[in-house]
Amino acid sequence: MRPDILNPLFSEVQSLRGVGPRLNKPLERLKLHRVKDMLYHFPNSFMHRNYRETLDIGDVGQHIIIKITVINMRNGHNYRSPLRIIGEDKNGDTVSLIFFGKNAGWAKKQLPMESHRIISGKLEQYGDELQIIHPDTIFEIKADSNQSQSIADTIASHVPLIEPIYPLSEGITNGRLGVLVSEALAVRPHIEEWIEPSLLKKNNWKSWYESIENMHSEYNEHAHNRLAYDELLANQITMQLVRAEMDNRKCLPISGDDRLTKLLQLPFEMTGAQKRVIAEIEGDLEQSRPMLRLLQGDVGSGKTIVALMALLRCVESGYQGAFLAPTEILARQHFANIQQLVAPLPVNVAILTSRDKGKLREATLMGLADGSIDIIIGTHAIFQEAVTYKNLAMAIIDEQHKFGVSQRLMLTKKGRGVPHLLVMTATPIPRTLALACYGEMDVSQIDELPPGRTAIETVVMPDNRMDDIINGLERHLSAGKQAFWVCPLIEESSSGKAAAEARAEMLQKYFGKKIGIIHGRMKSQDKDKVMESFINKEILLLVATTVIEVGVDVPNASLMIVESADSFGLAQLHQLRGRVGRGSEKSVCLLIRSTILSETARARLSLMRKSNDGFEIAEEDLNLRGAGEMIGTRQSGSSPFQVASDTQVRAWLSTAADDAKLLLQRDGGLSGTRGEAARILLYLFERDAGVATLRSG
């Protein structure tokens, strides 16, 4: 049960005054469902307004508040021209207040001739003229109110000198959102402290109650660090509780007898790194304590073979193994590859996805229940409630970043005892983020590529050379080769970035029916059909979004074109590049960039040209994107955090890990005073896995 003290924070946002049906959609788009979400919806920036008694060209570009007298009014020559209202300060210097469109009638009423008004807005310069376009505040002040103290008091009651600027959605203004945040702040409770007292003092951190308010009043680095630390501490307590819980559970030891692994005929020699990792996994499998291991390996490093060897060990011991893929395309690809490799062996491999229906599905479910299926490969469907196993002893999850701690724990209900768990990722993860995402796991790393894997040449070209790019692509396709063309968006957008559908339409004029398109909004069956056509060489050019980022294997595709490459992160570019170079042909990755580049984008593209090492690229990606992040921007990619930026993760995660260990092992665990507060922390950040562990003991 959630502690009662948190109930106000988990109330629906509709409980706040003034949130009616009209605001539901914009709040939904902003993912502001509860009062708590409103509290953690931090501003992107703050507008500072400065009161000025007189106009000064030195204030151009600043938001000012100033008292004016209206001395003139000029209507435009036609209905499209703006209304210009001329005001002067106490020295007689003038400023033009510009109003476009329908605002003109309202502005005339607010600013009649010879009236005295306080206005605020951004001061700009056009030629020799000072301007404020659409002042954000206009209010009346009496002509005899000349005392500066009186004016200052009047201003304070009408307009904030510091105003938070929030991420918005169509249908809600910044002012309206600010009012809702204020209402959310008004119901926040005072909560007992969960951070170790000496750490609070050392970093000059205030309470949670004060820090939340500080983040909405003016950016405060101390407050942001404290709230980021809260999230990291909740993360680390959860990880350590899950690990302790798993260590206390029993599983089926898997030793194997080599009868299958020795019969497996591989078309290549395994690398030293693969052999080392297999030995680490086999050592875990022999224990009665369940394996919890993360396997990191760069694109094409041979993780699937390592997974297969572990699954065969499982079958040798008389147990079942499950292989979970993030998408149906990848599940079917793994099934085809593994089935081909084990065809000469007495091993029954099956596939189960949401697409499998009727008698085929029933036969598969029966085979899992009676134990006649040794290895099952599929999507989330393999762990649905209706699926039962006779003796599941091991589960492998491919592309682990698609699955959280909660999904990992659901596997514990499917076996006789707890299944051993191996999770794999082709996205190399920097050490700090690995601790954040997978802190409860042991880590193995395949840091060696198989021999014969062709190097990929990376070329960067500006987008104003599109004709040359099209001509080069035409030569490539005419030779019977295949290519990917990746765009960052699906539909046309106002941002000006190329969209997959629009780009496919343009390329069809050159290449006709050789083109296919695939993106995330398509139905699974439709995506599969396009991919099958591409694999079968019926389509030579596949235009796609990053839906093809992970795992898809097309050996004949030897050219990857990434449009607007400067808008992608390094790790993502490396993953896309890894879709080619899988056959014997020399492969090229062409990165199309904007003509004007930021320093960060330039550094990213330069590193892509120089390096094919995914681990080096992942570390550098974290360095490049960490420092420039804004508050109020939710984290994406491999980071599991919403409050803590990547920079803060690196700065504070180790401390949070040590603090969590101290709390659980020395400070009375979760039963002492600080431990009770830590329970509230876990509920606050909805660390479901940790909360579930608390419930069970």
Per-residue pLDDT tens digits for 70-103: 999 988 666 678 899 999 999 999 999 999 877 6
How far is it, in rounded angstroms, from Cα 206 to Cα 215?
12
Which range among 272-276, 299-303, 491-495 shows the weakest confidence by mean pLDDT? Answer: 491-495
Q: Are residues 29 and 106 in the same domain?
A: no
Q: Are residues 280 and 406 in the same domain?
A: yes
When comparing pLDDT for 594 and 434, which is higher? 594
pLDDT tens, 105-116?
A: 888 999 999 999
Q: Are residues 304 and 435 in the same domain?
A: yes
Going by pLDDT thresholds of 50, 70 and 90, the confidence category of residue 629 is: very low
Domain count, the chain: 4
Going by pLDDT thresholds of 50, 70 and 90, the confidence category of residue 411 is: low
Convert 420-436 to b/e letters by CB count within 10 Å (16 or more is b). Answer: bbbbbbbbbbbebbbbb
pLDDT tops 80 at residue 28? yes
How far is it, in rounded angstroms, from Cα 29 to Cα 165?
17
**294 located within any domain:** yes
pLDDT tens, 462-511?
A: 999 999 999 999 999 999 999 999 998 665 554 444 578 888 889 998 99
pLDDT tens, 229-259?
A: 999 999 999 888 888 887 888 888 999 899 9
When comparing pLDDT for 412 and 140, which is higher? 140
pLDDT on residue 147: 56
Residue with tokens 């880590």: 443
For the domain that residue 545 is a member of, what is the CATH number? 3.40.50.300
pLDDT on residue 89: 95
Going by pLDDT thresholds of 50, 70 and 90, the confidence category of residue 55 is: very high
Closest by Cα among 279, 42, 241, 239 to 665: 241
| Distance, CA of 443 to chain centre | 22
Mean pLDDT of 168-189: 93
**246 located within any domain:** no
Q: Are residues 340 and 484 in the same domain?
A: no
Please give the model's pTM, rounded to 2 decimal places. Answer: 0.72
Q: Are residues 303 and 411 in the same domain?
A: yes
Q: Are residues 111 and 147 in the same domain?
A: yes
Percentage, residues of the chain above pLDDT 90: 50
pLDDT tops 70 at residue 178? yes
Mean pLDDT taken over the chain: 86
State the residue range of the domain holding 120. 47-163
pLDDT tops 80 at residue 417? no
Q: Are residues 304 and 427 in the same domain?
A: yes
When comparing pLDDT for 130 and 219, which is higher? 130
When comparing pLDDT for 75 and 592, which is higher? 592
**145 located within any domain:** yes
Contact 58, 46 (CB under 8 A): no
pLDDT on residue 637: 44
**589 located within any domain:** yes
**341 located within any domain:** yes
Q: Are residues 591 and 468 in the same domain?
A: yes
How far is it, in rounded angstroms, from Cα 116 to Cα 69?
5
**677 located within any domain:** no
Q: Are residues 435 and 344 in the same domain?
A: yes
Closest by Cα among 312, 318, 339, 567 to 463: 567
Q: Give the residue from 153, 184, 215 where a domain finishes.
A: 184
Residue with tokens 């970035």: 497
Q: Are residues 40 and 53 in the same domain?
A: no
pLDDT on residue 492: 54
Q: Give the residue from 387, 418, 446 where a domain finishes.
A: 446
How far is it, in rounded angstroms, from Cα 211 to Cα 684?
15
Q: Are residues 26 and 69 in the same domain?
A: no
Q: Are residues 350 and 426 in the same domain?
A: yes
Q: Give the residue from 427, 446, 465 where a domain finishes.
A: 446
